[in-house]
Amino acid sequence: MCGIFVYQGPRSDAAGIVLEGLKRLEYRGYDSWGLAVPGSDGLKTERRVGKIGAVSANDGPIAALNPSNVAIGHTRWATHGGVTEGNAHPHLSCDGKVGVIHNGIVENAEELKAELLAGGHVLASETDSEVIAHLIENLLRDHPLPEAVRLAFSRLRGRNAIVVLSASAGKVLVVAKSGSPVVIGIGGNESAPEYFVSSDMPALLAHTNRLVWLGDHEMATIDGSLKFASTSTGEPISRQSEIVAWEPEQAERGEHPHFMLKEILEQRDAVQRAINQPPALLDEVAAVMRVAQEVCFIGCGTAGAVGRIGTYLFADIAGRATSAILGSEFKNYRHSLHERTLLIAISQSGETADLLEAVDIALARGSRVVAIVNVPGSMLTRKAHYTLLVQAGPEKAVASTKATMGQIAVLGLLAHACAGQAAHGHALLTNVASHIDALTTPDYMGRVARLANRLAGEDDLYVIGRGINYPVALEAAIKVQEVSYIHAEGIAGGELKHYAIALIQPGTPCIILASNDDARAEILSNAAQVKARGGMIIGVGPEDNPIFDEYLPVPDGGGLSPLLTLIPMQILAYYLACARGNDPDMPRNLAKSVTVK
């Protein structure tokens, strides 16, 4: 969940380069941050609590870290120990010569701490991460840095990624990974190469698009060249670099006040790119689906809601029964998996720990796995048998918008391919995408913003849908919750009378998703039940209705309506966050990639 950024190369302003890299990564974790460079008798560090925000490379203590050709940096999302300067990374060994930045959770940290304390080490922080620096310090007595790191790393339980800098080893960096993502960027030229390490690929794009993803149980030593080895055996391994087509500007905010707004506005193009899947790959995945005995969508958070939307799309378009399970719940179903189970794993990052664990479980049972994922090269793409890339480009706001739309579009296309109607599906999706612009005009956005201002003081908000609009309501509620912090719930219209109508009081805001589908009459009747209890009805759909107190029009998207209905919900969430003074890009307590369990 934390962010790692590292530089080694000919430039002497390594601390400044890493500081800028950390700013690009701040969406991954933003409670504290820190940097380290080698000094004459140990590492020099600067650690601070809070967001990096406007801190510049000219800031006194940061500038004092340069000149240096190497620097390691970290933004933290606290797991073990409070948000304090002392708990911020890098963590140092007792002699101050070994510095470690860490992403993940050392599950056996308490055991290792006890051993280190008994051996005379003094631990300065409450974190699980610090033990790594002390373990390496011990091992450096008998081993060179790469081997000391390998041996220390082998003792850690859990899904971890570390970068280690040692004052005694000069510019040498050692990177190791067993779960959390790490990507190495290679820049400069043949005679003066430069190396970057990051937990997240978009942060590297300003410097290079030549990248190497480190696999699990792999390590890299960067000493002016790049060498790879297995963390289990120490044996050298070979790894090829890949060129990624994402442009650096795509990862910048530009003129927009927030990434979330920028990404909402990019959704027409995102949907259009998502449906341009390689035809042969699409056919192959559709064929695998047709022969599968069971098909199950898995995802977490928003991607979990997308999976549920997928079950409706496949039933409606391909006449195919499928199921949807949250990544974190999937292990409970492991005994039902076999070779003819097909798992469709949905993810923006491709690095979500709960999802990757579910995929591992399915692979171990011989099941097939298709990934629908936005980030090329991510762990999920490496585990899956087939990958349909969403191609939404870098998504930096914590709240997923354009990647979500891309995932839904891919599912819509795949459902049509499964029904033997890929070309028809492509045409329908292109038509739906063409209506997205109507939902992002200044007039329309202003209308949603006014509604947000009206609702900004509410404590509770319900989003009610039937049919495919039920999972759309779940996703709408996720968006509202995560950025506005208003308690929001998605409710199936049919369930209201079973329990949820008890929540309705005079004035309770209820968003009614009323598409032009066969659920419309019933959802309007639900709206009437809510209105009879004094609820405030906000209608969303292609047709206005006298029962609506407020109305957000949405073009008719037919069977692909989620691609349109969700957009005003995302915009509403965004403006609610702004109206309540929240930062929609970095909502409290959340991080973009949930790489810990």
The residues annotated as belonging to the active site are 2, 592
Which span (57-65, 349-357, 440-448, 451-459) binds ligand M6R, by CB under 6 A? 349-357
Contact between 415 and ligand M6R (CB under 6 A)? Answer: no
Which span (9-17, 224-232, 345-353, 542-550) binds ligand M6R, by CB under 6 A? 345-353
Total residues found in the chain within this entry: 597
Which span (11-19, 139-147, 541-549, 589-597) binds ligand M6R, by CB under 6 A? 589-597
Amino acid sitting at position 249? E
Which span (33-41, 86-94, 252-260, 394-402) binds ligand M6R, by CB under 6 A? 394-402
The residue (of 43 and 448) whose beta carbon lies closer to ligand M6R is 448
Cβ 307 to ligand M6R, closest distance in Å?
11
Amino acid sitting at position 508? T
Helices marked H in 119-155: 130-139, 145-154
Asked if 92 and 167 count as a contact pair (C-beta separation under 8 A), the reply is no
Q: Enumerate residues 444-483 that contact ligand M6R by CB under 6 A.
A: 478, 482
Q: Dmax of the chain from CA atoms? A: 80
The residue (of 173 and 448) whose beta carbon lies closer to ligand M6R is 448
Cβ 208 to ligand M6R, closest distance in Å?
23
The residue (of 106 and 305) whose beta carbon lies closer to ligand M6R is 305
Cβ 130 to ligand M6R, closest distance in Å?
27
Q: Residue 264: which residues within 8 A CB-CB, separation 6 or more?
A: 401, 402, 440, 567, 570, 571, 574
Q: What are phi and psi of 325, to 5 degrees?
A: -130, 140
Amino acid sitting at position 15? A
- List strand residue ranges (DSSP E) for 323-474, in order: 323-326, 341-347, 368-373, 386-389, 460-465
Q: Enumerate residues 282-341 that contact ligand M6R by CB under 6 A.
A: 300-303
Cβ 412 to ligand M6R, closest distance in Å?
18
From the number of C-beta atoms within 10 Å of its C-beta (0-12, 13-18, 19+), residue 222 rates as buried
Q: What DSSP line would sit under 183-239, residue for residue?
A: EEEEEE-SSSEEEEEESSGGGGTTT-SEEEEPPTTEEEEESSSEEEEETTT--EE--
Nearest one of 584, 580, 561 to 400, comparing CA atoms: 584
For the chain, the first-to-last Cα distance in angstroms comes to: 10
Contact between 398 and ligand M6R (CB under 6 A)? Answer: yes
The residue (of 146 and 471) whose beta carbon lies closer to ligand M6R is 471
Which span (110-118, 185-193, 343-351, 438-446) binds ligand M6R, by CB under 6 A? 343-351
Asked if 320 and 297 count as a contact pair (C-beta separation under 8 A), the reply is no
Count of residues in contact with ligand M6R, rule CB under 6 A: 17
Q: In the set 70, 98, 399, 409, which binds ligand M6R (CB under 6 A)?
A: 399
Q: In the set 347, 440, 481, 570, which binds ligand M6R (CB under 6 A)?
A: 347
Distance CA 325, CA 334 (A): 12
Contact between 349 and ligand M6R (CB under 6 A)? Answer: yes
Contact between 352 and ligand M6R (CB under 6 A)? Answer: yes
Contact between 18 and ligand M6R (CB under 6 A)? Answer: no
Contact between 267 and ligand M6R (CB under 6 A)? Answer: no
Contact between 348 and ligand M6R (CB under 6 A)? Answer: yes
**DSSP letter, residue 90:** P
State the Rg of the chain over Cα.
25
Q: In the set 222, 355, 524, 596, which binds ligand M6R (CB under 6 A)?
A: 355
Nearest one of 405, 217, 413, 223 to 318, comparing CA atoms: 413
The residue (of 165 and 478) whose beta carbon lies closer to ligand M6R is 478
The residue (of 277 and 349) whose beta carbon lies closer to ligand M6R is 349
Cβ 255 to ligand M6R, closest distance in Å?
23
Which span (128-136, 138-146, 357-365, 587-595) binds ligand M6R, by CB under 6 A? 587-595
Cβ 280 to ligand M6R, closest distance in Å?
26
Cβ 397 to ligand M6R, closest distance in Å?
8
The residue (of 259 and 548) whose beta carbon lies closer to ligand M6R is 259
Lookup: tokens for 185: 């960027």
Query: How far does Cα 40 stand from its chain's mean position?
Result: 39
The residue (of 399 and 473) whose beta carbon lies closer to ligand M6R is 399
**Residue facing ligand M6R at closest CB distance:** 301
Q: In what order do the strands lie in the sheet with 242-243?
A: 42-49, 32-39, 70-76, 3-8, 193-198, 183-188, 210-213, 242-243
Cβ 327 to ligand M6R, closest distance in Å?
8
**Secondary element (H or E) of residue 473:** helix 469-484
3-state secondary structure of 48: strand
Contact between 381 and ligand M6R (CB under 6 A)? Answer: no
Cβ 68 to ligand M6R, closest distance in Å?
34
Contact between 484 and ligand M6R (CB under 6 A)? Answer: no
Positions in the binding site for ligand M6R (CB under 6 A): 300-303, 347-349, 352, 355, 398-400, 478, 482, 590, 593-594
